[in-house]
Amino acid sequence: MKVLIIGGGACGASAAARLRRLDDSAEIIILEKTFEISIANCGLPYYCSGYIADENVMHVSSPKKFKELLNVDVKLDAEVVKIKRDEKKVVLQNGDELPYDKLVLAPGANPFVPDIEGVCNNPKIFTVRMLKDIEKIKEFIKNTKAKNAVIIGGGFIGIEMAESLSGITSVTLIELREHVLPHIDYEIAAAAQNEIRKHGVKLILSDGVKNFGDNELTLESGRKIPYDIAIMGIGVKPETTLAASCGLKIGKSGAVMVNEFMQTSDENIYAGGDSVEVNDFVSGNEAIIPMAGPANRQGRIIADNIKGYKSTYKKTIGASVIKVFDLTVASVGMSEASLKKSGIEYLKTITFGFSHASYYPNATRTLFKMLFNREGDILGMQAVGREGVDKRVDVMAAAMRNRNKVWDLIDLELCYAPPYSSAKDPVNILGMNADNILKGFFKPAFYEDIEGAMLVDVRNFETFNRETIDGAKHIYTPDLREKYNGLPRNKKIILFCNTGFQSYVASRILIQRGFENVYSLCAGIELYKILKKNEESEKIAVIV
Helix, strand, coil % over all residues of the chain, rounded to 5 = 35, 25, 40
In order of 66, 77, 168, 314, the CA distances from 145 in angstroms are 40, 32, 10, 49
- Quote the CA–CA distance of 373 and 301 in Å, as a whole number: 32
The CA dihedral of 159, 161, 163, 166, to the nearest 10 degrees, is -130
- Quote the CA–CA distance of 250 and 257 in Å, as a whole number: 5
Distant-in-sequence, close-in-space partners of 494: CB < 8 Å, separation ≥ 6: 445, 449, 450, 453, 454, 455, 456, 519, 520, 521
Annotation marks residue 42 as catalytic = yes
Q: What angle do CA 520, 526, 349 make, to 5 degrees?
A: 45
In order of 124, 256, 272, 273, 310, the CA distances from 11 in angstroms are 32, 14, 6, 5, 18
- Choose among 198, 203, 208: nearest CA to 173: 203
Name the residue type at position 246: C
Question: Which is catalytic among the residues 11, 42, 246, 522?
Answer: 42
- Quote the CA–CA distance of 361 and 429 in Å, as a whole number: 21
- Quote the CA–CA distance of 5 and 14 in Å, as a whole number: 10
Q: What angle do CA 437, 442, 444 make, to 5 degrees?
A: 75
Name the residue type at position 190: A
Q: Which residues are catalytic?
A: 42
